[in-house]
Amino acid sequence: MDGVYFLSILVLIANIATLLIGAILFLGIGAVRGIGVFRNTILKFMQIYALQILLLISAVATSGSLYFSENLGFTPCKLCWYQRIFMYPQVVLILMAYIKKTNDVFKYIFALSIIGMFIAGYHYILQTFPNPYAPCGDVGYSVSCSVDFFKYFGYITIPWMSFSAFLINALVSLMNFKKNQI
């Protein structure tokens, strides 16, 4: 199994888990019998292990992007660099918060993740629906933003991987900094 396929499997699992947990959390708000207990268990788990989850997602995303560029030779495009700008600092911020045992980092991770998520979403749209007039063409040092290095399971590309990581980090951060604000 090559590294790209392995990372694609991780993203697929993360996407399924995000959908399932999101559905349970959403259904738990209503009067669906039995879901409320499971919802509370998920919320408690997310609160206890939030920093570890965030660190894992950020570290895998960061090392994955470095694997693509340094090991596989995929040249990052301009939008890939912007996404890296919003993901790489998260590893350091979360690690510092974990070491200091503080929860003050959630609002910063949320902000970085939301911005990164919009960039990754835009990038994914450019890849899915290539536009010759898009502002991210070949820029000398990088490839076009619409270059599709691979596509697994019919939808998983590098921008989708990035989008998924930013989405999970944004959701975990939101769940925790809202709790800490109350």
The CA distance from 104 to 106, in Å, is 6
Between CA 13 and CA 58 the distance in angstroms is 16
pLDDT at 109: 94
User: What does the pLDDT read at residue 143?
Assistant: 58
Q: What pLDDT sits at residue 37?
A: 67
What confidence score (pLDDT) does residue 148 get? Answer: 65
Here the CATH number for the domain that contains residue 50 is 1.20.1550.10
Q: Which domain does 76 fall in, by range?
A: 3-181
Q: How many domains does the chain have?
A: 1
Would you write out the chain's pLDDT as a tens digit for each of its 182 residues? 477 777 777 777 787 777 777 776 665 554 455 566 667 777 788 788 889 999 999 999 998 888 888 888 878 888 888 999 999 999 999 999 999 988 889 999 999 999 999 999 998 888 887 766 666 654 445 555 666 666 666 767 888 889 999 998 998 888 887 555 44
Please indicate, yes or no, whether the overall pTM of this predicted structure exceeds 0.95. no
What pLDDT score was predicted for residue 31? Answer: 47
DSSP the chain: --HHHHHHHHHHHHHHHHHHHHHHHHHHHTT-TTHHHHHHHHHHHHHHSHHHHHHHHHHHHHHHHHIIIIIS-PPP-HHHHHHHHHHHHHHHHHHHHHHHT--TTHHHHHHHHHHHHHHHHHHHHHHHS--TTSS-S--SSS--TT--S--BTTTB-HHHHHHHHHHHHHHHHHHHHHHHH-
Pairwise CA distance, residues 160 & 135, whole Å: 19
Query: Which pLDDT score is estimated for 35?
Result: 60
Q: How far apart are CA 63 and CA 59, in angstroms?
A: 6
